[in-house]
């Protein structure tokens, strides 16, 4: 599929025709790479060699990346010169340059033109540049003098080689802040100019060496006037971004703090410390269970924050991660299932978790006694645990369950027959071991094993012991965010 195509009413053959309006009105404001992309695409539209009409060819010929080529076409799309038919794969249609249908009353902008040209001094403005200013004024109804003040301020900060797109970007951002008059513009400029000292301190904290520019001033006004941060709060945040992305990174962090209502310097410090703790915990948990994430923000938002909100402390989550790894649970979804079970039991710290696991190990020992009493030596299964718990809910003690099991030594599917016998005893209100024994003509009661004390925090469980809790969590290993 050809990357670039000519609209039917704009196609030409045998040569590459460049509209004079492109040279006169569009080329002066575009950088070299964008011009090269436009002209190469225009040439390929007229070429019959479709094998060269590919994104790879653009990258090779112009020594540019695919992203740079796409960005250049996006620029020309915004200018109305091309239409991006498809992003993946990239397909671009060239449009015919058309004259603006907008006309303006003679004399309406005479004074504006004169004053605007004075602002730009020796650089002669193009008619296409004036038209962009006219369109903005018609669109926003901003007073001409207000726009002239904005243009003069931009030139003073950036120099007179700036183009209308820059001035109008600034004007639109100010307009969005509610600036509607000359007085509003003057007050906003005063605020920005007053920020110089504060911005120098902020730049020092960031390690920024370049000069303070208009973009920096606008960010400062947004942070302090619109969002309500004090200078000290901004400096506190800047310290967290030192040599890590400059003003853009600081703007992103302040936006995050604003959304989370952390405006005070101490609140910012506490928030950053808490976020660092969560990041370190996420890094350690993923390392232990053996999963890797390039960006831990998702891990924090989906899992770590939720677990800590439930009341789990750091040591508890580290312990759960180690238990998960020991039993083959290697995903965060599997660990999430484990934490849900512990939370349901109120086990939120290492000690309570280990005590609960110890009780499960003891339960498995009791279930194992029932299996052995039925004449089998197999391992305990999840189904065995469920059956044992159910019989206890019916009201049978361990001795009564063992007594019933001895009645079915060597029988196939012994647990099913035990369940039926115990159900009959339950219906007859017989729950003690002697009564069950007599009811099903069984053997003497077995001795109850001595209870084991709760595990100490440093106790290390075997894989078989941990499987009493974690064994069936492996089903979560295929469920991941």
pLDDT digits 0-9 by tens, 375-421: 888 888 888 888 999 999 999 999 999 999 998 888 888 898 899 99
CA nearest neighbour of 35 among 87, 1, 81: 81
The predicted pLDDT at position 43 comes to 86
Residue 442 pLDDT more than 60? no
Q: In 159-245, which residue ranges form alpha helices assigned H by DSSP?
A: 164-176, 182-194, 196-206, 214-221, 231-240
* Element counts in the chain: helices (H) and strands (E): 24, 3
Q: What is the distance between the alpha carbons of residues 307 and 286, in angstroms, rounded to a whole number?
A: 14
Window from 9-23, 294-308, 322-336, 365-379 with minimum mean pLDDT: 9-23
Whether omega for the bond prior to residue 89 falls within 30 degrees of 0, making it cis, is yes
Per-residue confidence at 256, pLDDT binned at 50, 70, 90? confident
The predicted pLDDT at position 5 comes to 62
Per-residue confidence at 49, pLDDT binned at 50, 70, 90? low
The predicted pLDDT at position 14 comes to 58
The predicted pLDDT at position 85 comes to 82
Could you tell me which residue, 426 or 212, shows the higher pLDDT? 426
CA nearest neighbour of 187 among 179, 176, 195: 179
Work out the average pLDDT over 191-220.
83
The predicted pLDDT at position 56 comes to 86
Residue 144 pLDDT more than 90? yes
Neighbours of 309 (CB within 10 A): 8
Could you tell me which residue, 3 or 72, shows the higher pLDDT? 72
In the DSSP assignment, the letter for residue 480 is -
Residue 218 pLDDT more than 90? no
For the ranges 44-53, 218-227, 393-402, the one whose mean pLDDT is highest: 393-402
Work out the average pLDDT over 207-221.
82
- pLDDT-above-90 percentage for the chain: 36
Work out the average pLDDT over 123-131.
85
Asked whether 24 and 128 are in contact (CB, 8 A), the reply is yes
Helix (H, G, I), strand (E, B) or coil at 327: coil
The CATH fold assigned to 110-193 is Arc Repressor Mutant, subunit A (1.10.10)
Asked whether 443 and 406 are in contact (CB, 8 A), the reply is yes
Window from 96-100, 164-168, 201-205 with minimum mean pLDDT: 96-100
Tokens (6 digits) for 445: 């009661």
Residue 234 pLDDT more than 60? yes
Helix (H, G, I), strand (E, B) or coil at 64: coil
Per-residue confidence at 3, pLDDT binned at 50, 70, 90? low
Residue 24 pLDDT more than 70? yes
CA nearest neighbour of 140 among 177, 191, 188, 187: 177
Q: Are strands 82-87 and 90-94 parallel, antiparallel or unpaired?
A: antiparallel
Per-residue confidence at 456, pLDDT binned at 50, 70, 90? very low
Asked whether 13 and 46 are in contact (CB, 8 A), the reply is yes
Exposure string over 133-149, b if 16+ CB within 10 A, otherwise e: bbebbeeeebebebbbb
33: Cβ–Cβ under 8 A, 6 or more apart, which residues? 62, 64, 68, 72
21: Cβ–Cβ under 8 A, 6 or more apart, which residues? 97, 99
Domain ranges of the chain: 4-94, 110-193, 195-263, 272-350
- Give the torsion sign (CA, 26, 27, 31, 33): positive
């Amino acid at each position: 599929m050809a990357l670039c195509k000519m609209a039917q009413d704009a196609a030409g053959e045998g040569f590459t025709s460049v509209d004079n309006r492109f040279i006169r009105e569009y080329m002066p404001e575009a950088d070299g790479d964008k011009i090269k992309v436009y002209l190469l695409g225009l040439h390929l539209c007229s070429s019959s060699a479709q094998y060269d009409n590919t994104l790879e060819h653009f990258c090779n010929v112009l020594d540019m990346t695919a992203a740079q080529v796409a960005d250049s076409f996006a620029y020309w799309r915004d200018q109305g010169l091309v239409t991006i038919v498809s992003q993946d794969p990239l397909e671009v249609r060239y449009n015919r340059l058309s004259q603006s249908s907008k006309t303006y009353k003679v004399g309406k902008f005479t004074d504006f033109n004169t004053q605007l040209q004075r602002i730009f001094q020796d650089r002669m403005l193009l008619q296409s540049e004036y038209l962009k200013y006219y369109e903005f004024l018609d669109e926003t109804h901003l007073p001409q003098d207000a726009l002239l003040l904005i243009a003069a301020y931009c030139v003073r900060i950036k120099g007179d080689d700036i183009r209308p797109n820059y001035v109008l970007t600034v004007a639109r951002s100010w307009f969005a802040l509610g600036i509607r008059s000359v007085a509003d513009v003057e007050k906003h400029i005063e605020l920005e100019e007053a920020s110089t000292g504060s911005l120098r301190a902020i730049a020092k904290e960031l390690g920024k060496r370049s000069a303070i520019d208009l973009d920096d001033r606008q960010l400062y006004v947004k942070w302090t006037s619109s969002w309500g941060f004090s200078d000290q709060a901004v400096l506190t945040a800047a310290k967290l971004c030192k040599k890590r992305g400059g003003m853009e990174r600081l703007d992103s962090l302040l936006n995050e703090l604003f959304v989370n209502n952390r405006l005070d310097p101490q609140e910012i410090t506490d928030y950053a410390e808490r976020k660092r703790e969560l990041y370190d915990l996420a890094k350690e948990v993923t390392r232990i269970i053996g999963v890797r994430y390039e960006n831990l923000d998702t891990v924090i938002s989906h899992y770590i924050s939720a677990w800590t909100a439930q009341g789990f402390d750091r040591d508890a989550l580290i312990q759960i991660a180690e238990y998960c790894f020991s039993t083959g649970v290697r995903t965060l979804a599997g660990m999430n299932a484990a934490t849900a079970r512990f939370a349901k039991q109120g086990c939120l710290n290492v000690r309570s978790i280990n005590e609960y696991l110890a009780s499960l190990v003891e339960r498995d020992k009791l279930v194992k006694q029932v299996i052995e009493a039925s004449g089998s030596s197999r391992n305990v299964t999840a189904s065995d645990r469920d059956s044992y718990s159910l019989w206890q809910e019916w009201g049978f003690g361990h001795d009564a369950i063992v007594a019933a099991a001895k009645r079915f030594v060597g029988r196939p599917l012994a647990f099913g027959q035990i369940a039926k016998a115990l159900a009959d005893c339950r219906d007859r209100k017989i729950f003690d071991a002697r009564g069950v024994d007599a009811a099903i003509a069984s053997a003497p009661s077995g001795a109850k094993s001595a209870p084991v004390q709760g595990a100490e925090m440093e106790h290390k469980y075997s894989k078989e012991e941990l499987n009493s809790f974690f064994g069936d969590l492996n089903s979560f290993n295929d469920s991941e965010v």
